[in-house]
Amino acid sequence: DDGYQLWLRYAPLDKAASARAGDIGSEVVTASRSPTAKITAEELTRGLSGLLAKKVASGDAIRSNGAVLFGTPKDSPSIAGLALPLERVGSDGFVIKSAVVKGKRVTVIAGNTDVGALHGAFAFLRLVQTGAALDALDVVEAPKVKLRMIDHWDNLDRTMERGFSGFSIFNWWELPGHVDPQLVDYARAEASLGINGIVLTNPSGLTTAVSLTEPWLKKAAALADLFRPYGIKIYLSARFSCPQELGGLKTGDPLDPQVRAWWKAKADEIYRIIPDFGGFLVKANSEGQPGPQDFGRSHADGANMMAEALAPHGGIVIWRAFVYSPKPEDRVKQAYNEFKPFDGQFADNVVIQVKNGPLDFQPREPFSPLFGGLEKTPAGIELQITKEYLGFEIHLVYLGTLWQEVLQSDTYAKGSGSTVAHAIDGSLFHNKLSLIAGASNVGTARNWSGSIFDQANWNAYGRLAWNPDADARAIAEDWVRMTFTSDPAFVKPVIDMMMQSRETAVDTMTPLGLAHQMATGHHYGPGPWIDNVGRPDWNPTYYNGADKSGIGFDRTPTGSNAVAQYHAPLAAIFADPNKTPEPLLLWFHHLPWDHKMVSGRTLWDELALHYARGVENVKAMQATWARMKPYVDAERWQITADFLAMQYDSAVEWRDASIAYFQSLSGRPLPHGVPAPAHDLDWYKAKRLPFAPGNPGKTASPFRED
Ligand code: BDP
């Protein structure tokens, strides 16, 4: 098994589960005729045939007990007659109910729309796959977040920014003439998670301007046609300088009437070609991208201009808050300071897309204070599924726990219980729009994500997008059962391994609240000593602040005072090293090496022990995986075993290089149980990766450092 089928393998159920299923799934029935209904019928027959190991047919009338009837009350009088609570599920949700229709026992999957029923069909198949009891189903589900997005950081030449799974799955050269049938499987996978928006192009891409020209829009239209019946709209990244680059205008000033007219005409053209186009994703005035500030205007001016052009067509602007520039102000304060003053000044069809933490997708950060900070403008959350700072496709790191930690963080914006999840799902501030976006980890790799376990991150992202209050462990369990087996001898140890894997990544790379200690440019491997990159805030030394006196970044009132961006009581908690949770200690504090930790040990000893624990835990994962060999096919077992061996070497390097550097400053001996680094500091400093993926256009030579 090469992993291509993802979590939609539909392998035959084991004896116990198939006995429990009884005659359920005997046939698939629908009165709907739409392309979406056709897809739903195909998925149900494919899934049930595989799971029940028999040929399951579809038709338009119920013939047998165990039939699966799906559709909408509009198309099906039988569904209409059941008085299902469809008023609770909106356009995308569904009801699954065991019922008796025309004297037969049936399982009804109903939505207000065909897309709702499609989502219900995938949910039903998941129940079958995970061995749930199926005879008294009563499921009512609606997504909590309106816009559930996958952001591709794919360039038009098919290279991918921070992509570790091959090249882009969008073959722009062959489009629109040929649409790769593999994209049908891609659409199925996204629809199985309830994803309803896909950004096709990289917001940082230098070539995105051209993607808004007619030939490229026609290519995008072919993809929109493909995704439409799956309930997925397409979006494009829009470069702020398009009026200059494409329209030949002298300015891109958002208040200039010609510029505004250019965007309006462009929006009209896009909607002529793609009538249900979703809207624009914009990265402006960040990392060298053009933006309204180039013309002395604000983010609100820029976003509102684009919003005005899209509004008549129902499109939206997703404006990224990942902004920072080389100024003395603490980098992690900048996004809040740039957006908070404009809260409430953005048009109704603008969402601000905020990375989960105030820095940049680190193994651990506190949540961004823009969650709970923006009250009148919807703040969506951006998560990174692709593991740029967490060991690429090589390290086994389940991100469900990272995301749950962020989503369940309390912002205290309206007193306790004001979680990030409720800020982003719109319930806290009663926003009309709500959004969650995940930077994709999908590419041309046969297994889609580069590693089998990275499929779990794609899956967990989608499940959390549907329900940000979902539990990471429960999601992992479903994924393991669907992807591998329901054998308890496999399920529990593998879930346990996944559940601790993120903490292992933190221990390996950035324990105790450290951040951005990765080597320059590619971000794989250690570089805590690096202090020579063009800008202070791109250097690991900026973040670790390590010197002879201690380590950490002082963000209390004696330092950058970033803590003040958080609501009470967090501001005070984070300002006090004795109250700050230890996992975030060095994020907020610069402390002496001898600072006393909760364990009673010194900070130095504790730090060294964390790095050592990172290595030990990777070793434990290897041992677990070795024991799992009898339960997995050879191919998926081997790639995972190979990657774990590479991860082990990487963890050893992280431990030794970090300790060698920090020890050169702390001058302290190593605590018992922490081995001395194999080489001296200069050896680690001299080390270069011969090549690292995911850095197109940024790495002039594979040996370049910045
Ligand atoms: C950083 C990546 C960079 C992205 C940027 C972004 O290193 O490649 O372009 O985020 O989100 O993490 O725009």
Tell me: do 157 and 63 sit in the same domain: no
CATH of the domain at 628: 3.90.1330.10
The pLDDT value recorded for residue 698 is: 60
Tell me: do 122 and 165 sit in the same domain: no
Q: How far is the CA of 394 from the centre of ligand 1 (A)?
A: 19
Q: Ligand 1: which of 285, 322, 361 to mutate, most ligand atoms within 8 Å of CB?
A: 322
Q: How far is the CA of 75 from the centre of ligand 1 (A)?
A: 46
Tell me: do 36 and 78 sit in the same domain: yes
Rounded-to-integer distance, Cα 576 and Cα 556, Å: 8
Pair of tokens at residue 264: 């309006």
Catalytic residues: 287, 360, 388
Pair of tokens at residue 475: 């999601």
> Considering only CA atoms, which residue is closest to atom 9 of ligand 1?
204
**CA angle in degrees (0–180, nearest 5) for 310-316-319:** 115
| 523 Cα nearest atom in ligand 1 | 7
Cα→Cα distances 557→4, 6, 533, 685, Å: 52, 49, 28, 34
| 203 Cα nearest atom in ligand 1 | 13
User: What confidence tens digit (pLDDT) does each residue in 584-625 have?
Assistant: 999 999 999 999 999 999 999 999 999 999 999 999 999 999
What is the mean predicted confidence (pLDDT) over 302-312? 98
User: What confidence tens digit (pLDDT) does each residue in 555-588 have?
Assistant: 999 999 999 999 999 999 999 999 999 999 999 9
User: What confidence tens digit (pLDDT) does each residue in 317-354 have?
Assistant: 999 999 988 889 999 999 999 999 999 999 999 999 99
What is the mean predicted confidence (pLDDT) over 95-122? 98
Asked whether residue 224 is assigned to any structural domain, the reply reads yes
* pLDDT at residue 701 tops 90: no
In this structure, are residues 238 and 220 in contact, taking their beta carbons and an 8 Å threshold? no
Pair of tokens at residue 654: 């992280």
> Considering only CA atoms, which residue is closest to atom 4 of ligand 1?
204
Q: How far is the CA of 223 from the centre of ligand 1 (A)?
A: 25
Asked whether residue 428 is assigned to any structural domain, the reply reads yes
What is the mean predicted confidence (pLDDT) over 132-149? 97
What is the mean predicted confidence (pLDDT) over 49-65? 97
Asked whether residue 571 is assigned to any structural domain, the reply reads no
Last residue of a domain, one of 141, 174, 192: 141
CATH of the domain at 347: 3.20.20.80
CA dihedral 258, 264, 265, 271 (to 10 degrees): 170
Tell me: do 617 and 536 sit in the same domain: yes
List the strands of the sheet with 57-59, edge to edge.
57-59, 27-30, 67-71, 104-110, 94-101, 138-141
The pLDDT value recorded for residue 697 is: 65
Q: Ligand 1: which of 151, 152, 160, 161 to mutate, most ligand atoms within 8 Å of CB?
A: 161
Q: How far is the CA of 11 from the centre of ligand 1 (A)?
A: 38
Last residue of a domain, one of 141, 165, 181: 141
CATH of the domain at 78: 3.30.379.10
Q: Which residues have a Cβ under 8 Å from the Cβ of 83 and sit 6 or more positions away?
A: none
Q: Using pLDDT thresholds of 50, 70 and 90, give the confidence band for residue 208.
A: confident
Name the phi and psi angles at 310, rounded to 5: -85, -25
Is the peptide bond between 176 and the residue preceding it cis, with omega within 30 degrees of 0? yes
Asked whether residue 289 is assigned to any structural domain, the reply reads yes
Q: How far is the CA of 204 from the centre of ligand 1 (A)?
A: 7
Q: Which residues have a Cβ under 8 Å from the Cβ of 618 and sit 6 or more positions away?
A: 504, 508, 644, 647, 648, 651
Q: Give percent of the chain with pLDDT exceeding 90.
A: 95
| 694 Cα nearest atom in ligand 1 | 8
> Considering only CA atoms, which residue is closest to atom 2 of ligand 1?
162
Q: How many domains does the chain have?
A: 3
Asked whether residue 439 is assigned to any structural domain, the reply reads yes
Asked whether residue 382 is assigned to any structural domain, the reply reads yes
The pLDDT value recorded for residue 702 is: 40
Q: Ligand 1: which of 388, 392, 523 to mutate, most ligand atoms within 8 Å of CB?
A: 388
> Considering only CA atoms, which residue is closest to atom 13 of ligand 1?
204
510 is in which domain, residue-wise? Answer: 506-553+590-686
Tell me: do 266 and 228 sit in the same domain: yes
Tell me: do 434 and 541 sit in the same domain: no
Tell me: do 156 and 243 sit in the same domain: yes
Last residue of a domain, one of 94, 113, 141: 141
Rounded-to-integer distance, Cα 405 and Cα 392, Å: 21
Pocket of ligand 1 (CB under 6 A): 161-162, 204, 283, 322, 360-361, 388
Q: Ligand 1: which of 164, 240, 287 to mutate, most ligand atoms within 8 Å of CB?
A: 287
Tell me: do 40 and 58 sit in the same domain: yes
Cβ atoms < 10 Å from Cβ of 331 = 22
Q: How far is the CA of 353 from the centre of ligand 1 (A)?
A: 14
| 698 Cα nearest atom in ligand 1 | 8
> Considering only CA atoms, which residue is closest to atom 5 of ligand 1?
204
Tell me: do 40 and 174 sit in the same domain: no
Tell me the average pLDDT of the chain: 96
Write down the number of H helices and E strands in the chain: 21, 16
Q: What is the DSSP letter of 5?
A: T
Tell me: do 54 and 152 sit in the same domain: no
| 439 Cα nearest atom in ligand 1 | 11
Q: Which residues have a Cβ under 8 Å from the Cβ of 469 and sit 6 or more positions away?
A: 144, 407, 408, 421
Tell me: do 513 and 409 sit in the same domain: no
Asked whether residue 692 is assigned to any structural domain, the reply reads no
Q: How far is the CA of 322 from the centre of ligand 1 (A)?
A: 9
Tell me: do 362 and 283 sit in the same domain: yes
Asked whether residue 1 is assigned to any structural domain, the reply reads no
Rounded-to-integer distance, Cα 635 and Cα 451, Å: 11
